[in-house]
Structure 1
Amino acid sequence: MSNFFSLPKISKGRGFDPEFINEAEMSKDEVIEIAFHMGQLCGRFHQVMKTFDYDVERASAHHNPFQAENTSIFEKKLAYVKDSSMRNQLRNYINVFKEQFLPRLSELRKGFIHGDISDTNIILQEGPKDSGQAGKHWRICGLIDLEDCGYSYIVGELGICTAYVMLRAASVEADPVEASRQTIQGYQTIQSLSAEEKEVLFYVVTSRMAVSYVSASFECFLEPENSVYLFVHAKNIPTVLKALKDYGRDEIDEIWFGGA
């Protein structure tokens, strides 16, 4: 079972008025279902932000080291990854990202992004089940943690969202590649990706895995007593990277985009 934030009780008298927020246990199938909705959420956010009135210069000035274009920053912290094989693997993903993504920035769309659309930043509400449906039916009813909002690359945000969905799927032994497919398909029901964005998305996802693992390793060095919490996502990264490697880039693209 996996944990997401959920709203166990909604006041009927005055609309949306939860008494408290706790964690909801979810099955493999429920996590895969939520993956599709997370993709839609990401797409809706980008769609709505097209009409949002904001200062582009000010939004661009907001520095978030975890935005895709800042991946290279974490190269200096690779030394904190204890396992040498894992360290070399992550270095390779970062290098490939620098070669395949960074030179194409001028081809990619930018917009106002949330900065961290992940499973830990959504609020879920349990809804009525479809006829014959096993388990629970969830809908996303909120998105929290807006401190990383800024003006950046649209595909970078989708890559971050996809990476976290894959890690959540791996945590319940669901298929992370199927979860990623659902996320990307969900996104494209709201907003289409350009050909250029499709070509670089794989590199964004793998580089985000690398960044998350390196960051968690560095934070564990600083706060070893909090290692369990700090590795809550990162512990599943080797599993997801192996799945991506086993499929290969070309087959992953076929799964995500169907040759389109």
Structure 2
Amino acid sequence: MMAADPRPMLTPQQATEVTQQLYGVTVREITTLPSYIDQNYLVEDKEGSKYVLKIMNSKESEETTVLGLQTHAMSFLHQHGIPTQTAMPTTTGQLMSMEEIDCGQGAQTYCVRLLTYLPGATVAKSPVTTHDLYNLGKLAATLNKTLLQLSSPNLDVLQRGNILWDMQNVPLVEGYLSLMDGDPLQDVIRAVIQQFQSHVQPKISNFQKGIIHGDLSDQNIIVTPLTNGHHEVSGILDFSMLTIGCHVYDLAIMIMYIMLQNPSPMDVGGALLAGWESVMLLNDDERDCLFLMVLGRLCQSLVYGRYNVSKYPDNKEYILTTAKSGTLILYKLLELGKREVERKWFTDASTFKQVIHVSL
């Protein structure tokens, strides 16, 4: 017997009823928002106020302590001036509610939260400038630095080194490479994994550690345009990968995803790096491993994307977002090589710092 699909698949009618019952909100309009394996609805009430109804998949909904910490972290960051969503209380004062719902394959329990709505478009869909990227790098490092002050008796549950997507687990990609049999990309990815194992893994113990977002992708950062052609970050979304890890992972993840949609992908790293280092300096080992971490995350995304499409073919377009340009960027980075790419990133970052300093 096949296991039930963990993804919530509430109909708009079910989502409307849940919102009204739990939050006392009279729903005027409800529309679906994209998601990987959770479910998001944009909800508008009769006064015109907007919210996001987030329904977690049934597997992650079992980890109530982790979900509680994610909710707490979002609120903590919001209080410290980071643009994050916060959870609205239910009519009984709960910030999250475990709901048993039947989506057509028997009742499963899903964690439901109604989050504040943040306006803007994803970085993936916005023509961001290098100046915007500098500010984004700065904000991401500030987020990491702020999370160092987060306190809770349950912080140890964020030791989630078993997450497949965790950067330290890049070598686990090897176990999924059979999906790519016959694809020349398979050997390229295998070679990247070997370099990661020999070059990055021995140095991870020297990386600076703390609580990290874990998934600062171009889909999880939203911006709004300013009148001068630049953008400001209006939201950091989706804290489901919140974990205790190495700060530099967040930087590498951001560089990799933002390169995907950028018309000048090679200019992304330096701008993000300059912004990041205006708040949190990398040490020598982190600088030396940044290139291979960007490659490692790219390999994770390409391989796990293909794996998840085999499980959830109906969500193929969203899951394979990386595949469109990711393969080309992987080849481009490897063609230029570690030394050349690092030279560009670090030179650009240093030039950027001087320009920013002068403009201040």
Q: TM-score per shorter chain, which class?
A: 0.7 to 0.9
Quick one: percent identity of the two aligned structures?
22
- Are 1:183 and 2:272 matched, yes or no? yes
Alignment partner, residue 295 of structure 2: 206
Aligned mates of 1:161, 1:23 — CA distance in 2 = 13
User: Does the 8 A contact of 2:179 with 2:306 survive in 1?
Assistant: yes
Shift of 1:227: 2.5
Shift of 1:68: 0.7
Residue ranges of structure 1 left out of the alignment (5+ in a row): 1-10, 130-135
User: Does the 8 A contact of 2:122 with 2:223 survive in 1?
Assistant: no
Selected match of 1:91 from 180, 190, 207: 190
Alignment partner, residue 339 of structure 2: 250
Aligned mates of 1:22, 1:118 — CA distance in 2 = 13
Residue ranges of structure 2 left out of the alignment (5+ in a row): 1-48, 50-82, 84-115, 351-360
Alignment partner, residue 8 of structure 1: none
1:69-88 alignment runs, 5 A limit: 69-88=168-187
Query: If the length of structure 1 is used for normalisation, what is the TM-score?
Result: 0.81
Aligned mates of 2:252, 2:118 — CA distance in 1 = 34
User: Does the 8 A contact of 2:121 with 2:222 survive in 1?
Assistant: no
Shift of 1:181: 1.6
Shift of 1:168: 2.2
Selected match of 2:243 from 117, 136, 150: 150
Selected match of 2:233 from 140, 144, 165: 140
Aligned mates of 2:122, 2:136 — CA distance in 1 = 17
Shift of 1:144: 1.3
1:59-138 alignment runs, 5 A limit: 59-61=158-160, 63-129=162-228, 136-138=229-231
User: Does the 8 A contact of 1:156 with 1:204 survive in 2?
Assistant: yes
Tell which structure's C-alpha radius of gyration is larger.
2
Alignment partner, residue 53 of structure 1: 151
Shift of 1:225: 3.9
Alignment partner, residue 163 of structure 1: 256
User: Does the 8 A contact of 1:38 with 1:161 survive in 2?
Assistant: no
Using CA pairs under 8 Å that are at least 6 residues apart, name the structure with larger relative contact order, 1 or 2.
1
User: Does the 8 A contact of 2:122 with 2:221 survive in 1?
Assistant: no
Secondary structure of the corresponding residue to residue 84 of structure 1: coil
Selected match of 2:328 from 226, 239, 246: 239
User: Does the 8 A contact of 1:219 with 1:230 survive in 2?
Assistant: yes
Secondary structure of the corresponding residue to residue 111 of structure 1: strand
Number of aligned residue pairs: give it. 235
Whichever residue aligns with residue 44 of structure 1, its letter is T
Aligned mates of 1:198, 1:175 — CA distance in 2 = 22
User: Does the 8 A contact of 1:162 with 1:183 survive in 2?
Assistant: yes
User: Does the 8 A contact of 2:223 with 2:234 survive in 1?
Assistant: yes
Whichever residue aligns with residue 216 of structure 2, its letter is I
Shift of 1:80: 0.9
Whichever residue aligns with residue 158 of structure 1, its letter is L
CA RMSD of aligned residues (A): 2.6
For structure 1, which segment, 50-59 or 119-128, has the greater mean C-alpha deviation from structure 2 after superposition? 50-59
Aligned mates of 1:121, 1:38 — CA distance in 2 = 12
**Cα displacement string for residues 61-94 of structure 1 (whole angstroms, at most 9, x for unaligned residues):** 4642211111122211111125521111111111
Selected match of 1:43 from 141, 160, 165: 141
Distance 1:18 1:255, change over 3 A: same
Aligned mates of 1:144, 1:227 — CA distance in 2 = 21
More strand by share: 2
Shift of 1:257: 1.8
User: Does the 8 A contact of 2:134 with 2:273 survive in 1?
Assistant: yes
Distance 1:141 1:99, change over 3 A: same
Aligned mates of 2:135, 2:163 — CA distance in 1 = 25
Whichever residue aligns with residue 250 of structure 1, its letter is R
Query: If the length of structure 2 is used for normalisation, what is the TM-score?
Result: 0.60
Secondary structure of the corresponding residue to residue 151 of structure 1: strand
**Cα displacement string for residues 207-231 of structure 1 (whole angstroms, at most 9, x for unaligned residues):** 1011100001111222334332221
Alignment partner, residue 26 of structure 1: 126
**Cα displacement string for residues 177-212 of structure 1 (whole angstroms, at most 9, x for unaligned residues):** 111221111211221111110011111100101110
Aligned mates of 1:181, 1:196 — CA distance in 2 = 17
